[in-house]
Amino acid sequence: MEKFEKLKSTITPLNIENIDTDQIIPARFLKAVSRDGFGENLFRDWRYRSDGNLNNDFILNSNSKNSKILLAGRNFGCGSSREHAAWAIHDYGFRVVISSFFADIFKNNALNNGLLVFELDENLIQKIFKKISNESNIQFETDLNEQKFYSLDGSIDEKFQINDYNKTCLLKGYDNVDYLLSIKEKILKFENETGR
């Protein structure tokens, strides 16, 4: 897994609640058998009009392609468990997703793929939406080790929560399967003791 320590970037704002994984990547694009290339169809039906032309009103088409932080409304990633949603966001180039509230499965999927997701207070998120609607070029820094998220102009400075295990995995680029394989003896013992 790719390591994550610090990241400086502008924000891509998506002030919509309950963005489900069908919007992030529609089911008809889930037919690939590898993990690559899903970014091309990220938010497909919002990025393109039904006639196939680009929807220039949609933020991904009007915002800087270099932005690596996605800021979204509450209950982001609800619905289907498809990990393709996390792959698509990562493949497109985002490395951080912030919302006031994430769906559980999406959150796990993101963290399992080196995509840092964390919650901030809804009022603060609305304040950031407002701020960047006036100044879209403002830079923000995410510092995982310090668990800090702040704007370089100093107007926003917040701590965020992440559990120690996920934090370590992201900082070191550790892989969950490697971890589980390393405790195989414990698993065998559990199977024996519980008669499985």
- What ranges make up the beta strands (E) of the chain? 6-9, 11-14, 69-72, 96-99, 116-119, 140-143, 148-151, 157-159
Residue with tokens 């995509």: 115
Question: Which ranges constitute the DSSP H helices of 11-103?
Answer: 21-24, 44-47, 59-62, 84-92
**Dihedral sign, Cα of residue 140, residue 11, residue 27, residue 36:** negative
Sheet holding 96-99, edge to edge: 11-14, 69-72, 96-99, 116-119
Nearer to other proteins, 59 or 73 (CB): 73
Pick from 9, 23, 67, 151 the residue near other proteins by CB under 8 A: 23
Restricted to residues 92-121, the positions that interact with other proteins (CB under 8 A) are 101-105, 108-109, 112-113
Q: How far is the CB of 27 from other proteins (least distance, A)?
A: 4
Restricted to residues 122-181, the positions that interact with other proteins (CB under 8 A) are 163-166, 176-177, 179-181
Q: How far is the CB of 154 from other proteins (least distance, A)?
A: 29
Restricted to residues 36-95, the positions that interact with other proteins (CB under 8 A) are 45, 50, 73-75, 78-84, 86
User: How remote is the C-alpha of 167 from its chain's centroid?
Assistant: 14
Distance separating alpha carbons of residues 47 and 60, to the nearest angstrom? 7
With residue 107 as reference, give the H or E element that holds it: helix 104-111
Contact between 14 and other proteins by CB under 8 A: the answer reads no
Nearer to other proteins, 101 or 151 (CB): 101
Nearer to other proteins, 113 or 136 (CB): 113
Nearer to other proteins, 122 or 157 (CB): 122
Q: How far is the CB of 166 from other proteins (least distance, A)?
A: 7
Count of all residues that appear for the chain in the document: 196
Q: How far is the CB of 81 from other proteins (least distance, A)?
A: 4
Residues that bind other proteins (CB under 8 A): 15-18, 20, 22-23, 26-28, 30-35, 45, 50, 73-75, 78-84, 86, 101-105, 108-109, 112-113, 163-166, 176-177, 179-181, 183-184, 186-187, 190-191, 194, 196
